[in-house]
Amino acid sequence: MNQHLLVSQLGGRKIDPLSNLLAEFQIRVVPIAQRLQQRETHAEQTMRRILEARGEEHLRLILMAIVETNENNSTMLVAPVLWAISDLLLAHPSWFGAGLLDTLDEIDLRQLYVGAQANKGAVPLRYGVGALLYERLRTKFQAVAS
């Protein structure tokens, strides 16, 4: 079995965990030239890398954090946002159970992405989005911990 493709055998059929997750969240992979609509992505390879490195449940949490929050966020299935949320979930795993989805409902990921783009000459988008998102989440979760 090829680990790189993340395909498992089940009853003679090959099951691709990424395809299952995309179907679960009703996400479509579209050509790079196509403008993203809600629940569409160009970042299939990014999701495969996250799946390989961090596992299916981790990717499920990331997708949930994006598509099950405010409807504007569901257009932000882009590599820098996927990685930023992944990094934050690894660094702060307790945040997911502490109302992350409710908090993300109040955050516009597109606005954070545009803010990070303004500084991409100094900071890669993944880290820029991550830093901006961290600042928004930190204030909420530090208040909860207090």
CA 1, chain centre distance (Å):
27
Return the pLDDT at 51. Answer: 97
Q: Decide if pLDDT at 2 tops 50.
A: no
Q: Decide if pLDDT at 5 tops 50.
A: no
Bridge partners of residue 40, in order along the sequence: 28
For the stretch 31-43, pLDDT in tens is 999 999 999 999 9
For the stretch 97-121, pLDDT in tens is 768 899 999 999 999 999 999 999 9
Is this prediction's pTM over 0.85?
A: yes
For the stretch 25-69, pLDDT in tens is 999 999 999 999 999 999 999 999 999 999 999 999 999 999 999
